Amino acid sequence: MRVPFQAPGEPALKPEEVKITLNGKAARVVRLLAPGSDLFLLLVLDLSGDLTLVDPARQALLKRLAALPGNVRVALMRAQDGLRPALDPGAPRAALTAAIESLATSPRPGLLDSLENAQMLADSIAARAHVRVAALFISDSNVLNYQEDYSNPVVNSSDSGDMSRRFPEGLINEKIRQIKARMRHGESPLYLVHLQYLSDRLNTAYQTGLQELLRSSGGSAEYCRSLADIPNSVDRACDAILQAQYTAEVEMAPGKNGTVDLVVIAEGRTIHSRPRRQFSEKGR
Amino acid sequence: MRALRVLAATLILIPVAAAQPQPPRGNSTAQAPRTSPAARTAPAAADELQKAVEEFRVQATRLGLTEGPATAQRRDTKGKSRWHGRLFENLRNDFLDAVPHEVAQRGGSKNILRRNQFGFNVSGPVLIPKLYDGGRATFFTFTYEGMREKIGRSSLRTIATTAERTGDWSATVDSAGAALPIYDPQTTAPNPGYDPGQDVSTSNLEYNRVPFAGNVIPASRLDRAAQSAMALYPTPNSDAGPFFRNNYFVFTPEINSANGIIARVDHTAGERHRIGSGVNFSNGQDGASPLFLNEANPGAPVRSRRNRRAFVEHIFTLSPQRINTFTVDAYSSQLENLPEAGSESVFPAYLFSPYLGMGRSTTVLKNARNQFIVSNGHSIRWKQHRVRLNGRFIREQVNIYAPAYPEGMFRFGAGLTSLPGINNTGHAFASFLLGQAEYAEKSVVLSPSYFRRSRFNFGFADTWEIRKGLVFSVSVGLEVSEPRKEKYDRQSTVSFAALNPANNRPGALIVAGVNGQGRAFQPFVTRGEPSAGLTWNPFGAAKTVVRLGYGRSYSAIPIYSVQWGTQAFNGSPTWVAANPQLQPALTLAQGLPESPRTFPDLRPDSANNTVADLIEPRGIQPTYQSFSLSFERELPGAFLFTLGLGHAGGRNLLLGSGSSNPNAIPLSALEYGVQLNDENFNRSVRPFPQYQRFDVYASWPEGRYQRDACSLRVEKRASSGLALSASYEFSKQMDNYSGPYGIQDYYNRANEKAITAGSNPHAFTVTYSYELPMGPNRLLFPLTDWRRYLVEGWSLSGVTTIVSGEPLALRPQFNNTGRVVDTLHVNVVPGADPHVSSRSPELWFNPAAFAQPADFTLGDASRTHPTLRGPGAQNHDLSVNKRISLSLEKSVEFSMVGLNFVNHANWSDPDTMIGPASAPNVNAGRIIGSRGGRVIQLGLRFSF
């Protein structure tokens, strides 16, 4: 079982400093992949709107990618119309730069439809190679622009007694819960940099749901409140992956129990991890 | 293996080839070598990374993922499984609701309510078996929603008592409980002892008039037409009071229905083109609970509504820095009044306020409002600039047939049964019984009107990142607005530039396309709309944002759905009493005479002696201006704090005839006193004596407002399932037009500047949602057996709003100003405190601080009181949801939405009518009851 967790700060934790308990019992850490170890990054761009936001995000990404160490591979993907690779991860960095610069926006966001697929892809890679795997989404998505309808627009404007839209966030909450349920077996952390914080009620529910979802994957979400915030947010997300993301491979006896009570402890360090996880032989 | 199949199916939507070799998946730790932990942190790096890259490639190749555009070529034999959607039903029943407080207070019980709202939504790739698989390229959504509702509506009104219907007014009292005398208009005679130098009073009457003996109108004097109409007028069935008021309680059902769809298709053509199209369709019937169950029903009509919309959008990504969006949108909204159920004839309107009248206006209405919009937007990113260019063409059509009173309208006043010049005498219903109308009109509408207008918008906007942390945005809009035209030039208005042949004074009817007049009465209007904004992260603090904004905008004058401004073709001949206290305009027994005009009547004097339609000739548009400043700061713990300051103002706001009267009599004319009751004299002192007044139909640009506000908003992102947002705003809004009763001084609007009616200075709102931490993996009841279905999936959402009261608009009971003033203000009593020490519904304010102005004088209080406010209000809405997951893709959600779920009663506003000292309004300052009640809706949604 792979257990992603974040432990910011230096120096990197050693395996003997990490105590992991499963259902209250100490688990044997078979392998600990610490910051500085190999990293395979799925970089997913979901750019659907304002060019004002997209360009600073591109520049921030390019700057960060240029400084990546050699043991990091980046698979560039795009989220619109389904998750698709935009560049082979073995391509040289120059090609990656060119691909990011030339990637066009598309009006329909695809973030919600890509999260689960990206995590499954990441899990497959992590199962094959002993490297840290994470997915970083860069998105400017607005919940109102999805192809699928989450806004529940008024159908009959003459219906003055309609109470069903008093709480409009029901549909997006349902979608997030569905994704969360499908991702509960996932083992790879997802990160998001959302380029535009939107404070209307529907987008608040959307962004809050995303934040919960990504936290439950072991990752995190950053929301930008201004153009100046975009580079900082990209940096913070990259730092979290590169400098604080650990993956512990622990032994786990097969069993029928569907819930794993997971506790990660490192003396003197702050740990961010998923406290509980869903696990079942069937699910795996 | 299984997971990979799911991955394959969901990632690229094709079945996994089972014969393909699968990478290892699952518990890799079981195969891991048992070496020392330290050694395991440094595996053969290049090998592992290369494995990861190869695994990615394997997945990409095996699953058919390739770089490039989305195509429609991929196939999925289980295509329908890619469709998602929902089925839903929302139910309301009076069984679930509380009895509204206003109903309970008068001893009423629940009204019947049966409501079902149902429908479905489905979306996914377009799939036509054996013909087309949309794959990723073509996507559709389709939603249907229907509604069926039967709801009982109750209404408490005041109608004539059984005795009054027969002419017996012996028991009738005024608002102070004193006897209300009814005078016989046939006994009217000039008072030889009248002293014109003194005010009219009971000791100095201009006319003598004798009350009916015993305050009973003899049966022989009752108008036969009025008596016939009484067969359709209900008798009292309630005694809510006081003083026989609120004596008619009606409870009738309203039937509503609606059916509608929204369908949309999006198609991606290559990487750079996206085409979207859609249609909306809705048919509905707005029911109306009748006040009378016959053709004399004065309640609202039943209406049929039809809405249609279709649009096409093309988004072309020319390059990563350039996007073009082209849209064509067509919208149509149709409205039709349906005939009264079970009635073949149209009843004329009889108005005898304060009693509930008979009949109504606009019994026949057919209206279609169409809009066609073509727009194009082009966005360019260039260096640190993002430039957007917009162009939009709007074509508006309004087709309307709406005669206001095709069978005529008769208005009855108290004057003819009063002691002339003396308040609190006579009654409009008594005048009705005598058949003596003070005013009558009849609509003559020969044909529908077909109004047309085009508008063009051009816009340029630039967002410039001056340096990191400082962004400047500017935009300039240009709107060119064509004035309203009529397809067949059937438009007219009064022009102040033309001389009226009847009196050779300014103000005569002009007709579109006649005598050199153009097709419209207003010019083309071109307006620039600038705006600018600044976003600053002070001292490089990215989580702190200061925003500064300024904007100036105009709004086009609407094309209203009325046949206003067509008077030469569709007229309303009127009959006005020469003196509404002395003689009627006509009697019911006479009926409406033949119209003195035949239509079309294009003569310059053809609108004389009527309420003439007046179109403002300069085309002045409302102007809005706003400034805003906000400070945002993200705090630890996912808190966001926003402090905002704002100023907004507007001028040239379009006002209606209650707030604008270009033919108002100057206030100095009040000195003429009772002479103003004479129609001829009254008209002679008006600026345009050839007209009674003007109908400016919400289009006269004289309004101004100003609003200053500061707000504080705190948001908390989800933490342990809780998301919270709270906002508070303090504002002050003033204007020179708003309010329920109109304004007093048309000539000096500065005198009318007051707190905006309906404004709430304090407003506090909290919204929240909370996913209860129950069920597997959660804090509470982490059950994993069958009981998990009971405890997991619960969530709450809520909105709470608390606002302070609205300013009170005090009004005098009587307005004896000879129609110089349409809405009279009250007088302030010097030295009297309008506030009470212990405010309660029994006494909310001190009515003794105000007084009824003397006859032919103005009130000196402001339109709305600067410090007196009505009771505040609060509302708490809650939604409780329970989700049951049936599978990874399917779930059922039960919901219960409660509006005002705590069943809180908000006090009604106090009675603000101030009577004269001789007969004060006993209810002034008191609050009569409260309103509100819990409303519950149950919902069930199946998602797949």
Q: From A207, which residue of chain B is nearest by alpha-carbon distance?
A: B717
pLDDT per residue as tens digits for the range B885-939: 888 888 999 999 999 999 999 999 999 999 988 888 888 999 988 889 999 999 9
Q: From A104, which residue of chain B is nearest by alpha-carbon distance?
A: B320
Put simply, whether A270 touches B (Cβ < 8 Å) is no
The confidence score (pLDDT) of residue B49 equals: 85
The confidence band for B63, taking pLDDT boundaries of 50, 70 and 90, is low
> Which of B2, B4, B6, B27 should be substituted to probe chain A, the one whose Cβ sees the most A Cβ atoms within 10 Å?
B27
Q: Report the percentage of chain B scoring pLDDT > 90.
A: 64
* Spatial contact of B428 and B354, defined as CB atoms under 8 Å apart: yes
**To the nearest whole angstrom, how far is the Cα of B341 from the nearest Cα of chain A?**
20
Half-sphere exposure of B930 (CA within 13 A, CB side): 17
From first CA to last CA, the distance across chain A in angstroms is: 10
The confidence score (pLDDT) of residue B638 equals: 77
Closest CA relative to residue B727, chosen from B691, B763, B696: B763
Q: What's the complex ipTM?
A: 0.88
The confidence score (pLDDT) of residue B389 equals: 95
Domains and CATH numbers, chain A: 32-154+164-253 (3.40.50.410)
The confidence band for B427, taking pLDDT boundaries of 50, 70 and 90, is very high
Which of A14, A164, A185 is nearest residue B117 as measured by Cβ atoms?
A164
Q: Do A117 and B10 touch (CB under 8 A)?
A: yes
Q: Which of residues 162-181 of A touch B (CB under 8 A)?
A: 162-164, 166-167, 169-171, 173-174, 177-178, 181
Q: Do B147 and A84 touch (CB under 8 A)?
A: no
Which of A120, A121, A259 is nearest residue B776 as measured by Cβ atoms?
A259
Examine residue B33 and say whether the peptide bond preceding it is cis (omega within 30 degrees of 0). Answer: no
Chain B residues touching A229 at Cβ < 8 A: 537, 542-543, 545
Which of B7, B26, B470 is nearest residue A120 as measured by Cβ atoms?
B7
Put simply, whether A81 touches B (Cβ < 8 Å) is yes
**Residue A157 in tokens:** 């404007």
Rounded mean pLDDT, B50-54? 88
* Predicted confidence (pLDDT) at residue B11 exceeds the cutoff of 80: no
Q: Do A153 and B92 touch (CB under 8 A)?
A: no
Which of A73, A116, A164 is nearest residue B52 as measured by Cβ atoms?
A73
DSSP states of B666-678 as a string? PGGGGGGGGGGGS
* Pairing outcome for strands B248-269 and B207-211: unpaired
**To the nearest whole angstrom, how far is the Cα of A269 from the nearest Cα of chain B?**
19
Task: Out of A206-220, B147-161, B333-347, B372-386, pick the least confident.
Answer: B333-347
Q: From A214, which residue of chain B is nearest by alpha-carbon distance?
A: B718
Greater confidence (B789 vs A107) lies with B789
Residues of chain A with pLDDT under 50: 256, 280-284
pLDDT per residue as tens digits for the range B435-460: 999 999 999 999 999 999 999 999 99
* Predicted confidence (pLDDT) at residue B41 exceeds the cutoff of 80: no
Which of A51, A177, A211 is nearest residue B379 as measured by Cβ atoms?
A51
The rounded Cα A206 to chain-centroid distance in angstroms is 15
Chain A residues touching B42 at Cβ < 8 A: 37
**To the nearest whole angstrom, how far is the Cα of A156 from the nearest Cα of chain B?**
6
* Predicted confidence (pLDDT) at residue B32 exceeds the cutoff of 50: no
What CA–CA distance (Å, rounded) separates B708 from B733?
A: 6
From first CA to last CA, the distance across chain B in angstroms is: 24
What CA–CA distance (Å, rounded) separates B528 from B530?
A: 6
Chain A residues touching B266 at Cβ < 8 A: 108, 147
* Predicted confidence (pLDDT) at residue B426 exceeds the cutoff of 80: yes
Rounded mean pLDDT, B69-82? 46
> Which of A16, A120, A167, A204 should be substituted to probe chain B, the one whose Cβ sees the most B Cβ atoms within 10 Å?
A167
Chain A residues touching B28 at Cβ < 8 A: 2, 127, 249
The confidence score (pLDDT) of residue A262 equals: 64
Average model confidence (pLDDT) across chain B: 88
Q: From B26, which residue of chain A is nearest by alpha-carbon distance?
A: A284
* Predicted confidence (pLDDT) at residue B19 exceeds the cutoff of 70: no
Rounded mean pLDDT, B109-137? 88
> Which of A1, A38, A232 should be substituted to probe chain B, the one whose Cβ sees the most B Cβ atoms within 10 Å?
A38
pLDDT per residue as tens digits for the range B562-616: 999 999 999 888 898 989 899 999 999 888 888 878 889 999 999 998 899 999 9
Which of B7, B52, B885 is nearest residue A128 as measured by Cβ atoms?
B52
What CA–CA distance (Å, rounded) separates B27 from B736?
A: 75
pLDDT per residue as tens digits for the range B501-551: 999 999 999 999 999 999 999 999 999 999 999 999 887 777 899 999 999
C-alpha separations of A129 from B23, B213, B806 in Å: 10, 110, 68
Closest CA relative to residue A44, chosen from A245, A237, A197: A237
Q: Do A116 and B10 touch (CB under 8 A)?
A: yes
* Predicted confidence (pLDDT) at residue B682 exceeds the cutoff of 80: yes
How many Cβ pairs closer than 8 A exist between chain A and B? 341
Half-sphere exposure of A225 (CA within 13 A, CB side): 21
Put simply, whether A280 touches B (Cβ < 8 Å) is no
The confidence score (pLDDT) of residue B7 equals: 42
The confidence score (pLDDT) of residue B18 equals: 32
> Which of A19, A80, A130, A216 should be substituted to probe chain B, the one whose Cβ sees the most B Cβ atoms within 10 Å?
A130
pLDDT per residue as tens digits for the range B816-861: 898 899 999 999 999 999 999 999 999 999 999 999 999 999 999 9
Task: Out of B17-21, B448-452, B726-730, pick the least confident.
Answer: B17-21
> Which of B635, B777, B778, B892 should be substituted to probe chain A, the one whose Cβ sees the most A Cβ atoms within 10 Å?
B777
The confidence score (pLDDT) of residue B96 equals: 93
What CA–CA distance (Å, rounded) separates A129 from A37?
A: 12
Which of B57, B317, B782 is nearest residue A106 as measured by Cβ atoms?
B317
pLDDT per residue as tens digits for the range B180-232: 999 999 999 999 999 888 888 888 999 999 999 999 999 999 999 999 999 99
The confidence score (pLDDT) of residue B64 equals: 53
Closest CA relative to residue B850, chosen from B922, B915, B908, B919: B915
